[in-house]
Amino acid sequence: MVEFIFFLTHNDVTIPNAIEVFEDVRDTGVKFVGFKDIGLPKDQLVRLRKMIADSGKIAVLEVVSTSEADNNRSIRMGVDLGVVYLIGGTYVENSLPLVKGRGIKYFPYIGKIVGHPCLQRGSIDEISKDAKRVEEWA
C-alpha cells in the first residue's frame, strides 16, 4: 500500500497560509498532513496540528534542522505539538530519548544529509551502514 503525505511546505519551510491551505484539503481523502516547525509561530502550529487531528487526519512533522541544537529543538517541538509521526533529523542518539514512551513514530534520515532543502548523499554501503547504526538505537 502506498501512502501520500500532503506537505504544507515550500523549500523546507511551512507556508505562511498553511491553515488556509489545510482547509482546502480537509475534506479530501488525504490521510497524512505534514509541516515543519519552521515558518509559523508555535501558536499557529498548535492550531494547525489540532485542526489536522480534529479532521481525522494524521499530523506529520518533518525535522529538517541541520545542527544538533536545532534538531533537538525540532524534535521537542514535535513532542510538544503531539504529532503522530516525526520524520527526518539525523541526531538519532539525542532524538530517541525525547520521543520514547510518547507514542510518536519516528523515522530519522539515514546517510549523509547535506544542505537545506535536504539532500541525501552517500554510497549504498555508507547509507546501509548508517541504517544499521540507527537501527541499533531503536
pLDDT tens-place values along the chain, 138 residues long: 788 999 999 988 999 999 999 999 999 999 999 999 999 999 999 999 999 999 999 999 999 887 899 999 999 999 999 999 999 988 888 898 999 999 999 999 888 877 767 778 888 998 898 888 888 876
Residue 5: phi, psi to the nearest 5?
-105, 120
Q: Which domains does the chain have, with CATH numbers?
A: 5-137 (3.20.20.70)
Rounded CA separation 131/135 (Å): 6
